[in-house]
């Protein structure tokens, strides 16, 4: 892996976008829309949230003007990169009826390759987690693999932490370590505005050749490190992960589940904004005359009643059981299934919960009074 410390001026980012577009990428980056900083196709620097930051807390999100011209001066918004790598709706195949039955036509993979601008450390970790979900099992997801292999990632070291961030607790940031092609650290201070640029891959090195980049100075490298250190100290939340898996798996009947169920609306916002939630449903449909059919995969949420439906009823009928499933899966079962926690500490679920339920607070409450009601291997209590 090539690793070089370079620097480019602020407008060098436009050159990055142009170089990617020339190579056939659809460039996706942050932009302000509908009162939030979301991810969409960008072509020009002025489409980015220049001078904007965000204020986040439980159930609260507000973009705020910071006025210093920073391009990445915010934390994360309701979108995550999963909406591009693992789209909300995807047609898997089409079929047409034939005399002797039917024939399947498999959908082609992704259209153009995607380039992501502004991927945070927590988001890189989330992508790596979804890689394990979709690519490391016996059956891998082909459309995901195609999009993933083709994706070009320009990461960004966070210049400030968000109000609900706790990536440090999950060992998922704030510094980007691996999994990127290029990484930027924005230095907006002392009358200068430039980016320290790290090259993280051969593709990144190749693109860097097209950029007006120069080797970074010692001082610039140190300034970049100070940015990361400052962010580290700003975390809005924290989560004690020590023994957390065992704690949650041993407490399925903890009274806290009843307590949170009184607040939880089972709206599924958390699963929607979470960058690692991957659950889907499959829809088989046909046209009106029954000559053509298709199968579409759509995002789904474990908070719906349909999700666990068998034989005339839902296994998880109560809000209590559904919240318990989401949180226990995310922080505990995920480790058994995929070898790491499913949480990256991005805080989105806290911010976007309409009633401000805070996963770190729930975990702390259970930890404060564990019941230890785990059943033994004999099935007794």
Nearer to another protein, 48 or 277 (CB): 277
**Interface with another protein (CB under 8 A):** 92-93, 95, 97, 99-104, 106, 133-134, 137-142, 249, 252-253, 278-282, 284-286, 290, 293, 295, 297, 300, 302, 307-313, 315-318, 320-321, 325, 329, 332-333, 336-337, 374-379
Find all residues with CB under 8 Å of 302, minimum gap 6, and list them: 271, 279, 308, 316, 322, 325, 326, 329
Nearer to another protein, 263 or 298 (CB): 298
Question: Angle 359-368/319-328 helices, nearest 10 degrees?
Answer: 90
Find the shortest distance in angstroms from Cβ 129 to another protein: 13
Judge whether 159 and 73 are in contact, CB under 8 Å: yes
Judge whether 303 and 324 are in contact, CB under 8 Å: no
Using CA atoms, how far apart are residues 202 and 292, in angstroms rounded to an integer?
44
Using CA atoms, how far apart are residues 156 and 205, in angstroms rounded to an integer?
16
Find the shortest distance in angstroms from Cβ 99 to another protein: 7
Nearer to another protein, 33 or 295 (CB): 295
Find the shortest distance in angstroms from Cβ 373 to another protein: 10
* Residue 323, phi then psi, degrees to nearest 5: -65, -45
Find the shortest distance in angstroms from Cβ 106 to another protein: 5
Burial 203-241 (b: 16+ CB within 10 A, else e): ebbebbeebebeebeeebbebbeebbeebeebbbbebeb
Tally the C-alpha atoms within 13 A of residue 27's C-alpha that lie toward its C-beta: 23
Find the shortest distance in angstroms from Cβ 326 to another protein: 11
Nearer to another protein, 233 or 312 (CB): 312
Nearer to another protein, 160 or 325 (CB): 325
Alpha-carbon separation of residue 83 from 38, 130, 264 (angstroms): 11, 12, 24
Find the shortest distance in angstroms from Cβ 263 to another protein: 18
Nearer to another protein, 310 or 368 (CB): 310
User: 22 is written with which tokens?
Assistant: 């020339």
Using CA atoms, how far apart are residues 331 and 164, in angstroms rounded to an integer?
17
Residue 208 DSSP SS3? helix
Nearer to another protein, 133 or 197 (CB): 133
Nearer to another protein, 27 or 319 (CB): 319
Find the shortest distance in angstroms from Cβ 82 to another protein: 13
Find the shortest distance in angstroms from Cβ 363 to another protein: 17
CA nearest 257: which of 341, 325, 194, 176? 325
The distance from CA 6 to its chain's CA centroid, rounded to whole angstroms, is 27
């Amino acid at each position: 892996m090539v690793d070089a410390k370079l620097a480019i001026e602020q407008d060098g980012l436009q050159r990055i976008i142009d170089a990617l577009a020339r190579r056939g990428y659809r460039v996706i980056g942050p932009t302000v829309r509908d009162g939030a900083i979301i991810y969409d196709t960008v072509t020009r620097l002025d489409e980015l949230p220049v001078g904007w930051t965000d204020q986040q807390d439980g159930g609260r999100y507000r973009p705020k003007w910071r006025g210093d011209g920073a391009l990445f001066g915010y934390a994360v918004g309701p979108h995550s990169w999963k909406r591009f790598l693992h789209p909300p709706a995807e047609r898997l195949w089409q079929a047409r009826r034939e005399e002797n039955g039917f024939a399947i036509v498999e959908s082609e993979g992704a259209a153009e390759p995607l380039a992501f601008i502004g991927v945070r450390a927590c988001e890189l970790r989330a992508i790596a987690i979804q890689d394990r979900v979709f690519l490391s099992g016996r059956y891998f997801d082909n459309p995901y693999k195609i999009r993933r292999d083709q994706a070009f990632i320009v990461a960004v070291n966070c210049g400030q932490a968000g109000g609900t961030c706790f990536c440090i607790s999950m060992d998922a940031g704030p510094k980007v370590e691996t999994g990127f092609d290029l990484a930027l650290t924005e230095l907006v201070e002392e009358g200068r505005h430039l980016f320290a640029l790290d090259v993280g891959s051969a593709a990144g090195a190749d693109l860097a050749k097209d950029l007006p980049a120069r080797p970074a100075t010692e001082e610039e490298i140190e300034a970049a490190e100070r940015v990361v250190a400052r962010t580290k100290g700003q975390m809005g939340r924290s989560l004690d992960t020590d023994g957390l898996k065992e704690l949650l798996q041993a407490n399925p009947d903890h009274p806290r589940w009843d307590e949170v169920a009184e607040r939880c609306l089972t709206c599924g916002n958390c699963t929607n904004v979470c960058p690692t939630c991957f659950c889907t449903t499959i829809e088989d449909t046909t046209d009106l005359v029954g000559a053509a059919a298709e199968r579409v995969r759509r995002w789904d949420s474990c908070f719906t009643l349909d999700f666990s439906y068998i034989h005339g009823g839902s296994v998880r009928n109560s809000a209590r059981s559904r919240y318990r499933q989401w949180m226990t899966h995310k922080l505990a079962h995920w480790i058994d299934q995929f070898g790491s926690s499913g949480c990256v500490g991005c805080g989105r679920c806290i911010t976007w919960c309409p009633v401000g339920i805070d996963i770190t607070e729930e975990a702390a409450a259970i930890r404060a009074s564990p019941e230890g009601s785990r059943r033994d291997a004999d099935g007794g209590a």
